[in-house]
Amino acid sequence: MRIDILCLFPEMFVSPFNQSIVKRAKEQGLIDIMVYNIRDYTHDRHHTVDDYPYGGGPGMVLKPEPVFEAVAAVKQQLNINEIPIILLTPQGRLLNQRVARELALHSHLMLICGHYEGVDERVRSHLATDEISIGDYVLSSGELAAMVMVEAIVRFIPGVLGSPMSANSNSHSDRLLEYPQYTRPQVYRGWSVPAILLSGNHSEIACWRRHQAILRTANRRPDLIGKATLSDKEKEWISENLLNPK
Ligand code: ADE
């Protein structure tokens, strides 16, 4: 997959994209990420990227010209026409595992990081093909949102994670939170690892983990439990155990 990122602070990507999973995916040739500075697509002496909002009001608005020009230049350089162009904005559809998995199916994505108090509406209506928010809060930088999104997407690209199951077995992939995990030592400060995990009985362990994931989701994220796919037996189990939590 190739990802082209258009932004105002390209240096912000250097460290996060040179660590851990994203770094490994780049080294393995599974992803190719290019970062461009929108400021390089201005033509005035001051390299102006923002201006006052028409109609008044606080803050500055990202101008349309450098954004349209940057997109056109990257498209021309790559000799491509049709490509998803995603604007990172708190007004976009919310990023979750389903959206990340869906975006990972594309072979090429272009991301535009919004900035300041806003982006000229014409970028939204005539350039972007999609708008994504990483959560219901406002960041001053679309760059951070782009990093989060890239990390979430890259995990779904085949070969990026060690095990093919990993991306789908984590919290949220099946709309359930993850079950509790333990590692050595077996007893730490008097707190023991649940005996079932030491039993070697894989089917019982799987059953315990599934129940823990269901219980944890029902307690912490009641909004998710209604969307999870549960068997009738599991639903029955929840109603008994939520009333009498162990
Ligand atoms: N830019 C500023 N806040 C954002 C958010 N929550 N998601 C995506 N982009 C943003």
The residue-averaged pLDDT of 116-143 equals 94
Between CA 231 and CA 77 the distance in angstroms is 52
Q: Do 166 and 180 touch, CB atoms closer than 8 A? A: no
Are 67 and 100 within one domain? yes
Evaluate whether residue 194 is within a structural domain.
Answer: yes
pLDDT of 246 > 60? The answer is no
Q: Is 173 in the pocket of ligand 1 (CB under 6 A)?
A: no
Are 140 and 36 within one domain? yes
Q: Is 149 in the pocket of ligand 1 (CB under 6 A)?
A: no
Q: Using omega within 30 degrees of 0 as the cis cutoff, is the peptide bond preceding 185 cis? A: yes
Q: Are strands 61-62 and 50-51 parallel, antiparallel or unpaired?
A: antiparallel
Q: Are strands 2-7 and 108-113 parallel, antiparallel or unpaired?
A: parallel
Note the pTM of the prediction, 2 decimals.
0.92
Evaluate whether residue 162 is within a structural domain.
Answer: no
Percent of the chain whose predicted confidence (pLDDT) is above 70? 94
- Grouping H, G, I as helix, E, B as strand and the rest as coil, residue 76 is helix
Are 13 and 63 within one domain? yes
Are 119 and 71 within one domain? yes
Evaluate whether residue 32 is within a structural domain.
Answer: yes
pLDDT of 169 > 80? The answer is no
Q: Whose CA is nearest to atom 10 of ligand 1?
A: 89
Band of pLDDT at residue 245, cut at 50, 70 and 90: low
The residue-averaged pLDDT of 22-51 equals 98
Domain span at residue 179 reads 171-243
Are 190 and 147 within one domain? no
Evaluate whether residue 165 is within a structural domain.
Answer: no
Are 114 and 192 within one domain? no
Mutate to test the pocket of ligand 1, among 139, 149, 151 (most ligand atoms within 8 A of CB): 139
pLDDT at 88: 98
Band of pLDDT at residue 239, cut at 50, 70 and 90: confident
Query: In CATH, what number is assigned to the domain containing residue 191?
Result: 1.10.1270.20
